[in-house]
Amino acid sequence: MDLTSVALTSARGRIAFGLLATALPSVVTRMMLAEPRADGTAPFVRMFGVRDAALGLGAVVAIDQGTPVRGWFEAMAMADAGDALTAVLDRRHLTPNAFRVTLGLAGGSALVHLLLGRRLDPHPPAHLHQPEAVATGHPEPA
């Protein structure tokens, strides 16, 4: 699998998780919190879901259009590093399994996205007609 395919797969995974967290925040909350509560966490889970979906969509559209992608992947790396740090700082609020999974996925994802951003700089040629770019009305580059 070439780097562009890896980047597209990663960005689409982020979109999928973001949509899940936005649409069903209680599912994500139950998976992560040691003591799930109905105390207003849903809006925060939705906010992070929208963030992840937006980062993933931005990366897919940049790949589709053949425009720079490094910044998108660096933003993903920073978000993931923040998630890993938050898991460490708030470990007592997470189930042991959620802590391990979050730390492993977020830490690994931060590294992968940082490397992808650097390896895809300069950006790859356009990979036109990605469904996400078409659905959001992005025309073919001139």
Backbone angles phi, psi at 10, to 5 degrees: -65, -45
Given a cut of 70, the residues of the chain with pLDDT beneath it are 36-38
What pLDDT is attached to residue 37?
65
Kindly report whether the peptide bond that precedes residue 124 is cis, defined as omega within 30 degrees of 0. no
Cα separation, 132 vs 111, in Å, equals 25
> In degrees rounded to 5, what are phi and psi of residue 122?
-70, 155
- Distance between CA 116 and CA 71 in Å, rounded? 10
Residue 33 pLDDT: 77
Which of 77, 21, 16 has the alpha carbon at shortest distance from 44?
Answer: 21
